[in-house]
Amino acid sequence: MSLLIKSLIGALMVLLIGLLARTRNYYIAGLLPLFPTFALMAHYVVGSERGNAELKATIVFGLWAIVPYVAYLLALYWLVDRMRLLPALAGALLVWCIFAAVAVLLWNRR
């Protein structure tokens, strides 16, 4: 049941993004992915199953997670003027994956 509720929340967010993208305030669709829907779920699960020390580590790693997202946005901003939309999105996603992998590797070295 818990998985179903999480899936419905994710579907609701996708629906809201789609609806907002069609409005005069389309740019707000870029804010919704940053709503901490999944972070809330992750923090609840880690906090309830692992404890405060692990939750705090998860929170700190979440701060590192901002770096791949910023790299994705910067890459997409640059690529969108240089190629079609889908290749630009794929390129920006690749940049996100690289930065995310580096963040995980650096985190595991500590």
Q: Where are the domains of the chain?
A: 1-35, 51-110
What is the residue-level pLDDT of the chain in tens, covering all 110 positions?
A: 678 887 888 888 899 999 999 999 999 888 888 888 788 889 999 999 999 999 999 999 999 999 999 999 999 999 999 999 999 999 999 999 999 999 999 999 98
What's residue 1's pLDDT?
A: 67
Alpha carbons 7 and 94: distance in angstroms, whole number: 25
Tell me if 91 sits within 8 A of 83, measured CB to CB: yes
What's residue 30's pLDDT?
A: 87
